[in-house]
Amino acid sequence: MSSPVVATAAMNLHLRSGKTPLHILKDIEFSIAPGEVVAVVGPSGSGKTSLLMVLGGLEQATNGHVSVAGTSITGLDEDQLAIFRRQHLGILFQNFHLIPSMTALENVALSLEIGETGQSYAEIMSAAKAALVAVGLGDRLDHRPSALSGGEQQRVGLARAIVNKPKLLLADEPTGNLDQDTGARVIDMMFALARDNGTAVFLITHDPALARRADRVLSMNHGRLTPLTEDVTA
Ligand SMILES: Nc1ncnc2c1ncn2[C@@H]1O[C@H](COP(=O)(O)OP(=O)(O)OP(=O)(O)O)[C@@H](O)[C@H]1O
């Protein structure tokens, strides 16, 4: 069996709000296999985004173990974390986060240029184009975000997130700004691309119908992560 892309053990996150100590994540222990899609559901403020931030090296766990793509990220400094993110992570946001003055192709290519992949300009453009073709936007390469629908913008976001073939894709409410059908299409595409590339997916969603499409659903409650026992389809 191949080793997990994500593995955490006895991981806690403590933050402070003014003088008040907050125990945000409590004894988190879970893993995600290559190509596996894990959805996380749970009430607002329960800690879902905080866990995503820890997995992305954007927030440091207070203690415990966090390994992503074979790297123990708890001991890395900021520079090492930046390299880790560029090499292994794709991130899909709720608000798309595309650069308005750039075309779809330029937005996707930028992620490879920033990633310092060592590829030539021609190779970068070719990979960016292939990623946009894969999300069905081969005929929208030169469109700016303002000339694209919400669903199309999120597909550009998806192309940008997967163009470097990440080991782990983090997605925080990626369909929150899309209608249900469009959201479902983006999610299906995301899952198919992840499975084809062996990319593990950590998906936060409030939508039970989307969660149901994942391989596994976990529930976050007051900072504790547990397998979902109730029927999310109900
Ligand atoms: N930088 C911070 N400093 C202090 N408290 C924080 C910080 N970031 C998050 N929190 C608190 O941690 C808790 C968990 O927040 P988090 O954003 O992880 O929840 P969530 O489950 O993703 O919520 P939502 O579904 O509303 O996005 C909240 O009580 C929040 O106020």
What residue segments make up the domains of the chain, in order of their start? 6-94+165-227
Give the pLDDT of residue 112. Answer: 85
**What's the gap in Å between 34 CA and the centre of ligand 1?**
28
The rounded average pLDDT for each run of 10 residues, N- to C-terminus, in the chain (234 residues) is: 90 93 96 96 96 95 96 92 90 89 96 79 94 93 95 93 93 88 87 90 91 94 88 51
Give the pLDDT of residue 60. Answer: 93
**What's the gap in Å between 206 CA and the centre of ligand 1?**
15
Strand order in the sheet with 71-72: 20-32, 6-17, 63-68, 71-72
Closest ligand 1 atom to the C-alpha of 53? 18
**What's the gap in Å between 81 CA and the centre of ligand 1?**
22
Give the pLDDT of residue 14. Answer: 96
Give the pLDDT of residue 177. Answer: 84
The CATH superfamily label for domain 6-94+165-227 reads P-loop containing nucleotide triphosphate hydrolases (3.40.50.300)
Strand order in the sheet with 89-92: 89-92, 168-172, 200-204, 37-41, 216-221, 224-227
Structural contact between residues 23 and 14, judged by C-beta atoms closer than 8 angstroms = yes
Give the pLDDT of residue 232. Answer: 52
DSSP letter (8 states) at residue 19: T
Separation between Cα atoms, residue 33 and residue 207, nearest integer Å: 23
Give the pLDDT of residue 119. Answer: 85
Structural contact between residues 205 and 213, judged by C-beta atoms closer than 8 angstroms = no
H/E stretch holding 79 reads: helix 78-88
Pocket test for ligand 1, best of 11, 12, 14, 22 (most atoms within 8 A of CB): 22
pTM: 0.91
What ipTM was estimated for this complex?
0.93
Nearest to residue 234, comparing CAs of 211, 202, 205, 200? 211
Pocket test for ligand 1, best of 12, 13, 14, 15 (most atoms within 8 A of CB): 15
Q: Give the pocket of ligand 1 (CB within 6 Å).
A: 15, 17, 22, 24, 42, 44-50, 220
Q: Which residues share a beta bridge with 22? A: 15
